[in-house]
Amino acid sequence: MSLAVLPSYISRENIGPWHIFLQQVEKVAPLLDKSLWPWVETLRRPKRALIVDVPIRLDNGEIAHFEGYRVHHNTSRGPGKGGVRFHQDVTLSEVMALAGWMSIKNAVVNVPFGGAKGGIRVDPRQLSQPELERLTRRYTSEIDMMIGPDKDIPAPDMNTNAQVMAWMMDTYSMNQGRTSTGVVTGKPLSLGGSLGRPDATGRGVFVTAREAAKKIDLPLIGARVCIQGFGNVGEASARMFAAAGARIVAVQDVSATVFNAAGLDIASLKRYLSEQRTLIGAPDCEVITEDAFWAVPCEFLVPAALESQINQFNAGKINARVVVEGANGPTTPEAEDILAERNILVIPDVLANAGGVTVSYFEWVQDFSSFFWSEDEINVRLERIMSEAFEAIWQLAAERQLSLRTAAFVVGCSRVLQARAMRGLYP
């Protein structure tokens, strides 16, 4: 009889992102080696979670308070690694799930990191640049005890960028009394950032899609692609698909959904969005409804926005051969079952979007050695790691008749739990 009381965040009634992660762990647990079963509970319990108040002085002199989070899911394989997002809908459940997915993702591509994540519950569009800087610096000071180049290394995520990472690095360095470039990744090149980092996640999405296309004899030339989300991940993957001869027929972001059966001009679309801050009115495309996006016929669908975008209500409408998850957790378990019944291949997030953390690992290594690689070297190393990880997952899925997500979780969970078991318990 177990004396342990279940934590409040392990609940079947909680249908948030953390519950989705728990469902995924529950599904894969019986498939793991029996020697690892005593340690599976480790995956259901984050190592530590911090909620902080982030007060700042606004430009008008008023004091505003924001809620911030930093979660370490598991650090058995190395220091925590995961982004920081600024979004008005960020919750602890979401950050916990994202940290859990980072644990699995880092293990899938076999980089020596554990899983972590952070966020602030804020709409950054409502803040000026000086206010964003004050918010970032105060948040960094509040989570200072959890981060460090050999402890936990934040990175950019939704609505954060190289500038935010520069502020975080500088704040941490000032508090430590020494420059510590390795405390974050995704920094500007002038502060120890890595070439190839901005496109890394999108490149990984494209590489895994390309490898899947080879397996199912699907030509990239002329293939139709739909992209949800037109930030760093969506835009970079769209650009690479187009360079390979594919047609980007639909793009959706928070402002609108645009469509052109002959193919959208990605460079023109990016330029228009940068200037107008909306896709509405972009040349050579028509605006369609948000719901119609999911039914656009295509070979590749790339959800590169938020969690749970593909769900039980729209999964039946999807008209794609392959879904490549550029975002974290974009497909709910119920939706995945529907896609499987319809023979739609899903390349899971913990594999497809691991390019970003892989190049973050390269940046971390370069910062420690103070020796920096060329962009060609980085891209070659990234492609090799992503291709090898895809091949291993594909082979395991074929051998054991598993979905790619389940196969990826078997690999990732096994590596995390093997490390946990070998380290044992202290004291």
Pull the structure tokens for residue 64. 């505003």
189 burial type by CB count under 10 A (0-12 exposed, 13-18 middle, 19+ buried):
exposed
**d(Cα 119, Cα 89) in Å, to the nearest integer?**
10
DSSP structure string for 84-139 = EEEETT--HHHHHHHHHHHHHHHHHTT-S-EEEEEEEE--GGGS-HHHHHHHHHHH
**d(Cα 96, Cα 345) in Å, to the nearest integer?**
27
171: three-class secondary structure by DSSP: helix
Pull the structure tokens for residue 31. 């498939």
The answer to whether residues 230 and 273 touch, using CB atoms and an 8 Å cutoff, is: yes
The answer to whether residues 329 and 349 touch, using CB atoms and an 8 Å cutoff, is: yes
Please identify every residue annotated as catalytic.
117
List, in sequence order, every beta strand (DSSP E) within 189-312. 224-228, 247-252, 257-259, 286-288, 300-303
**d(Cα 246, Cα 300) in Å, to the nearest integer?**
10
The upper half-sphere exposure of residue 190, i.e. CA atoms within 13 Å in the direction of its Cβ, equals 4
> What strand order describes the sheet that includes 63-74?
48-57, 63-74, 114-121, 80-87, 152-156
List, in sequence order, every beta strand (DSSP E) within 168-297. 224-228, 247-252, 257-259, 286-288
